[in-house]
Copies of this chain bind each other. A is one copy, B any other.
Amino acid sequence: MRQPEHLKIVGLKSTTPRLKILSLFESSQEHHLSAEDVYKLLMASGDDVGLATVYRVLTQFEQAGLLVRNYFEGGKSVFELNQGKHHDHIVCMQCGHVEEFYDATIEARQEKVAIERRFSIRDHSLYIYADCTNKQCPHKDLRADPMPTNKIGAAQSLD
C-alpha cells in the first residue's frame, strides 16, 4: 500500500485512506483522476473510503504539493501526481485521452504578455482541445467517461 514516509515529510499524518489514495495515483494506468474516479477505483478494489474523505485528501495532497489540480471543462477537477515539472495539456475531445506537453516559447511569451501589462503571474492554465484523428483514438478505454459534452479550461500551477 505504500510507506508513510512521504506523508510524514509533507506534514500529514499517515492514515489508511491517505496511503490508499496516494498509492492509487502511483499505480494507476491513467494518471489524471477526478475525485469521482478515485472514489470508484477505491470501491472497486474493495477499499471503502468515504467520498468526503477523498475530496479532503485530494485537496490536502494538492496543498502539500503531492498532486496538481487541473480544472477541466465541465467544472470538475482532475488530479495528477506532481512530477515537479510544469506542463500543459492537450485533450482529445473524442476519447478523452490527455497528453502533456511543455513549450518553452509559450511559457516565455506568457511572461512577456504579463510584464507588458504590468501583471505578475501567479498561475496559468492552458488546455488545447482537439481530436487525435490520425491515431483513430486508440485511447478510448483509458478513461471512464470519455469527455464532457462541454469542455472547460484548466488551471496549472507554475512549477
Beta-carbon contact of A118 and B134 below 8 Å: yes
With A106-B106, A153-B71, A153-B154 in contact, is A120–B114 under 8 Å at CB?
Answer: no
Instruction: Specify how many copies of this chain sit in the oligomer.
Output: 2
> A99: which B residues are within 8 A, CB to CB?
117, 119
> Interface size for chain A: under 10, 10 to 19, 20 to 34, or 35 or more residues?
35 or more
Interface of chain A: mostly helix, strand, loop or mixed: mixed
Cβ-neighbour of A152 out of B71, B101, B106, B134 (below 8 A):
B71
**Contact at A131–B127, with CB atoms within 8 Å?**
no
Chain A residues engaging chain B, CB cutoff 8 angstroms: 70-73, 75, 90, 92-93, 99, 101, 103, 105-106, 109-110, 112-114, 117-135, 151-156
Question: Which 7 residue pairs spanning A and B have beta carbons closest together?
Answer: A153-B153, A125-B153, A119-B130, A123-B129, A118-B134, A153-B154, A71-B152
